[in-house]
């Protein structure tokens, strides 16, 4: 027993000291070459100083290799003074699963069409950069995508319907761009599960497509656009919406006609729209962490009960004639 434990310890110790040596052979030569090209395209930024030929590329900072075939699977840069376009060469990392470029304010140009080759990509985040041009429809070909985050950029044009063909999409962030056009009809028919959707701070207009009434959304942020229509399609007893932000749009409908809200609803923000009628009594039956209906055209008494009187009066102010606690008593 003792001997075998001793042998075991020695083996582990040997492994521990020899592994780094054998690991110096890990890096795939093609990947190394590609990464060095990427570094050059990015203008040899200081953040990639560790990328030199005299060390194994699996040990370079900002990238990761997988343990099975030692190919580059992850490339991530947060905050850096990189002044260039997105290198086409990134598409020559065929095993890439995670690509994150965040807070690179001098990164410009468009999302390269070569990215269609990145079929293993699960996470694509290009956020807080200065990339521009359209959201390419070819992103619909990246069937492994779970997270697509293109928020806080300079992207324009409309939302391509092809994004709804991504079967595994869980999160879609297109907020804080310059997007125009309407929400595609296809958002009423995601081919996989329905992702959490963030489209705020754009110039989206048009009415909410009727097709959306068939979908069980969970997280939906449409705030700060120019959208119109009736958002009651998102509610109803059998819906699953949890957080809905429709604030600062042009929504105009009679709130009294919305009879039922799903029990799942935890946050509802409708401020700065043109919603009229009165607050439905069923709101009082909900356990909302947040409710804001300020800056609309609502009238009548705030329903009593539940949490309705616990929200700050600013949740209700600037309406046509809402009254009752926490606002002034009705006359």
Ligand X SMILES: *[C@@H]1O[C@H](CO)[C@@H](O)[C@H](O)[C@H]1NC(C)=O
Q: According to CB under 6 A, which one of 44, 55, 254, 310 is a site residue for ligand X?
A: 254
Instruction: Evaluate whether 77 touches 102 at the Cβ level (below 8 Å).
Output: yes
- Token pair listed for 270: 């409708």
Q: According to CB under 6 A, which one of 88, 130, 144, 218 is a site residue for ligand X?
A: 130
* Per CB under 6 A, 132 contacts ligand X: yes
Give the β-pairing of 123-129 and 243-245: unpaired
Q: Which residues contact 13 (CB under 8 A, 6 or more apart)?
A: none
Closest distance to ligand X from the beta carbon of 295 (Å): 6
Nearer to ligand X by Cβ, of 206 and 285: the residue is 206
> Cβ-closest residue to ligand X?
81
Closest distance to ligand X from the beta carbon of 239 (Å): 7
Closest distance to ligand X from the beta carbon of 146 (Å): 20
Closest distance to ligand X from the beta carbon of 83 (Å): 5
* Per CB under 6 A, 289 contacts ligand X: no
- Token pair listed for 226: 């120019």
Of 230, 222, 142, nearest to 179 (Cα)? 222
Task: Determine the Cα–Cα distance for residues 57 and 238; give it in Å rounded to an integer.
Answer: 52
Instruction: Evaluate whether 310 touches 287 at the Cβ level (below 8 Å).
Output: no
What size, in residues, is the chain? 331
Show the binding pattern over residues 193-222: x = contacts ligand X (CB under 6 A), - = does not. ------------xx-------x-x------
**Contact positions with ligand X (CB under 6 A) in 67-96:** 81, 83
Q: According to CB under 6 A, which one of 28, 164, 200, 271 is a site residue for ligand X?
A: 271
Q: Which residues contact 225 (CB under 8 A, 6 or more apart)?
A: 199, 200, 201, 202, 203, 204, 205, 248, 249
Task: Determine the Cα–Cα distance for residues 87 and 109; give it in Å rounded to an integer.
Answer: 10
Q: Which H or E run contains 19? A: helix 2-23
Number of residues that bind ligand X (CB under 6 A): 32
* Per CB under 6 A, 256 contacts ligand X: yes
Options 21-29, 32-40, 140-148, 149-157: segment touching ligand X (CB under 6 A)? 149-157
- In sequence order, the β-bridge partners of residue 170 are none
Show the binding pattern over residues 18-57: x = contacts ligand X (CB under 6 A), - = does not. ----------------------------------------
């Amino acid at each position: 027993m003792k001997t075998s434990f001793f042998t075991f310890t020695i083996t582990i110790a040997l492994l521990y000291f020899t592994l780094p040596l054998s690991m110096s052979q890990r890096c795939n030569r093609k990947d190394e070459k590609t990464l060095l090209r990427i570094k050059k395209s990015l203008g040899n930024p200081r953040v990639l100083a560790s990328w030199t030929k005299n060390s194994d590329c699996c040990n370079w900072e900002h990238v990761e290799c997988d343990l099975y075939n030692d190919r580059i699977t992850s490339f991530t840069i947060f905050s850096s003074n990189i002044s260039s376009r997105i290198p086409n060469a990134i598409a020559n990392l065929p095993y890439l699963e995670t690509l994150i470029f965040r807070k690179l304010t001098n990164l410009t140009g468009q999302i390269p069409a070569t990215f269609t080759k990145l079929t293993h990509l699960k996470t694509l985040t290009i956020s807080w950069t200065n990339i521009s041009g359209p959201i390419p429809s070819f992103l619909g070909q990246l069937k492994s995508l779970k997270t697509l985050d293109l928020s806080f950029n300079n992207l324009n044009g409309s939302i391509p319907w092809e994004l709804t063909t991504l079967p595994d999409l869980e999160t879609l962030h297109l907020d804080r761009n310059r997007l125009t056009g309407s929400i595609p009809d296809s958002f009423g028919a995601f081919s996989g599960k329905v992702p959490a959707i963030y489209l705020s701070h754009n110039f989206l207009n048009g009415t909410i497509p009727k097709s959306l009434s068939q979908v069980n959304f969970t997280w939906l942020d449409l705030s700060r656009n120019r959208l119109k229509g009736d958002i009651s399609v998102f509610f109803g007893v059998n819906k699953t919406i949890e957080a809905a932000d429709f604030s600062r749009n042009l929504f105009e409908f009679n709130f009294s006609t919305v009879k039922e809200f799903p029990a799942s609803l935890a946050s509802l923000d409708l401020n700065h729209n043109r919603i009229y009628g009165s607050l439905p009594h069923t709101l009082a039956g909900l356990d909302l962490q947040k409710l804001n209906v300020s800056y609309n055209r609502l009238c009548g008494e705030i329903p009593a009960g539940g949490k309705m009187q616990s929200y700050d009066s600013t949740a209700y102010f600037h309406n046509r004639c809402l009254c009752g606690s926490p606002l002034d008593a009705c006359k």
